[in-house]
Amino acid sequence: MKARKLIGTVLVVCAAGAAGAWGAASALQPESEHPGKKYVEAFKAKAQDPDMMAKYMEAGKPGVAHEFLALFEGEFDAVNRMWMNPDGPPMESKASCTNTVIMGGRFLKSEYRGDMMGFAFDGMALMGYDNNKGLFTNIWIDSMSTGIAPAYGNLDESGTALTMIGKMDEPTTGEMGKHYKQVFRLVDEDTHVMEMWEILYGDPFKVMEIEYTRK
Q: What is the pLDDT of residues 128-162, one digit of tens each?
A: 999 999 999 999 999 999 999 999 999 999 999 99
Q: Would you state the pLDDT for residue 151?
A: 97
- Residues contacting 159, CB < 8 A, separation 6+: 68
Q: Would you state the pLDDT for residue 31?
A: 64
Residue ranges in the chain whose pLDDT is less than 70: 1-32
Identify the CA nearest to 95 among candidates 73, 113, 109, 117.
Answer: 113
Q: Would you state the pLDDT for residue 158?
A: 95
Distance of CA 127 to the CA centre of its chain: 10
pTM of the model: 0.77
Q: Would you state the pLDDT for residue 146?
A: 92
**Residue 80 backbone phi and psi in degrees, to 5:** -105, 130
Q: Which residues of 119-130 are buried (b: 16+ CB within 10 A; e: fewer)?
A: eebebebebbbe
The three-point CA angle 132-136-141 to 5° equals 115
Distance between CA atoms of 144 and 89, rounded to whole angstroms? 23
